Amino acid sequence: MLQLSVPIPNITGRQDIEIDMTVNGKTQKMHFIIEVYPWDSCENETENRINCIRQLVQDYGKDWTIYDIGIPTEKYVPLTFVKTQDWQKQRDALVSAVMG
């Protein structure tokens, strides 16, 4: 699936983002959340940062899917989530376009 980068203001804390997207005349609303997690918020100190990310998001809920893992620093990692329902609509539209 193609991606388009959209610059988001660098604001601390959680950012709730809604985008109305029109592609080839079809409009869809997409919902995103960006959260910045400090590495030291992992329950178990671990050298494996993937396991840390798993710990951080394990209870995030079924309504959201990880969309992007941003560029980590030594202190934190930014994670972008997409509303699962919106993401499924995008995947369905792609399948429909390819199979249609």
pLDDT at 63: 94
Confidence of residue 33 (pLDDT cuts 50, 70, 90): very high
Let me know the angle formed at the C-alpha of 17 by 95 and 19, rounded to the nearest 5 degrees: 50
Give mean pLDDT, residues 40-52.
77
Residue 24 has pLDDT above 60, yes or no: yes
Parallel, antiparallel, or unpaired for β 64-69 and 26-38? unpaired
pTM above 0.75, yes or no: yes
Give mean pLDDT, residues 4-13.
75
Residue 84 has pLDDT above 70, yes or no: yes
Confidence of residue 64 (pLDDT cuts 50, 70, 90): very high
Give mean pLDDT, residues 61-84.
90
User: Residue ranges per domain, the chain?
Assistant: 15-99
In whole angstroms, give the CA distance from residue 100 to residue 93. Answer: 10
